Chains A and B, each alone.
Chain A
């Protein structure tokens, strides 16, 4: 069964710190990886995508991918209270399969 695992949290970090969110996936042939942010009562929104090993930076966000370890992470630098949300990892696996979402990690940034 194709799975995406995330620690449900909550992950609490102080304002200004680096928040590190992790995700592992079961399908070694997975091709592309995405991070979505979902505020309470709202729908998910795409914040990052990554396709190859290494780091990809976008503003305060950095996505990291290690396909050998089947591991993808999201770092949020200078965390702000407005970053408090649930972060969903999604993986595009091989074949004609739908996008697979993890259950999400709830992040709380404390002012």
Chain B
């Protein structure tokens, strides 16, 4: 079974731009969670989608948004990028029945200049 895929893997943007990241979960998984990981803050939860509905949202500003499509693929968007948004963005998929059992994608490394 193919794992979680994320595109793009690396991205360089400048302040004020926006970015869209994509995640394809493991086939059959209905839950997709997004995390931001930085050296200082660790793994911080952004949001979780289940069957196209946002099930949970972390403490991030409204510039961070996401959505999930009917095929469970998910996208997250960050508008008006700031330097502090530079991070590794991880997507994790789960069957949905046990939210602790998450399978992470390789991540998208975003650098904001």
Residues of A within 8 A of B (CB): 32-34, 42-46, 49, 88, 90, 92, 96-104
Q: B residues bordering A, Cβ < 8 Å?
A: 33, 35, 41-43, 45, 48, 55-56, 58, 90, 98-107
B99 touches A43 (CB 8 A): no
Contact of A90 among B56, B58, B100, B107 (CB under 8 A): B100
Contact (Cβ within 8 A) B33 A88: no
Q: Which residue of chain A has the shortest Cβ distance to B45 in the bound complex?
A: A98
Task: Contact check, B55 vs A96: say whether CB atoms are below 8 A apart.
Answer: yes
Contacts of A49 in B (CB 8 A): 100-101
* A98/B104 contact (C-beta < 8 A), A32-B98, A43-B90, A88-B43 known: no
Given A43-B106, A43-B107: A99 in contact with B90 (beta carbons within 8 A): no
Set B33, B56, B100, B106: member contacting A96, Cβ < 8 A:
B56
| Across-interface contacts of A88 in B (CB, < 8 A) | 42-43
Chain A residue nearest to B91 (CB atoms) is A43
Contact check, B107 vs A34: say whether CB atoms are below 8 A apart: no
Question: In whole angstroms, how far apart are the Cα atoms of A43 and B104 in the complex?
Answer: 6
Cα distance, A100 to B90, chains bound together (Å) = 15
Q: Which residues of A contact B104 (CB under 8 A)?
A: 43-45
Question: Could you write out 17 A-B pairs with CB less than 8 Å apart?
Answer: A32-B98, A33-B100, A34-B100, A34-B101, A43-B90, A43-B105, A44-B90, A88-B42, A88-B43, A92-B98, A98-B48, A99-B45, A99-B99, A99-B100, A103-B43, A104-B42, A104-B43
Which listed residue, A92, A101, A102, touches B99 by the CB 8 Å rule?
A92
Q: Is the CB of A46 within 8 A of B45?
A: no
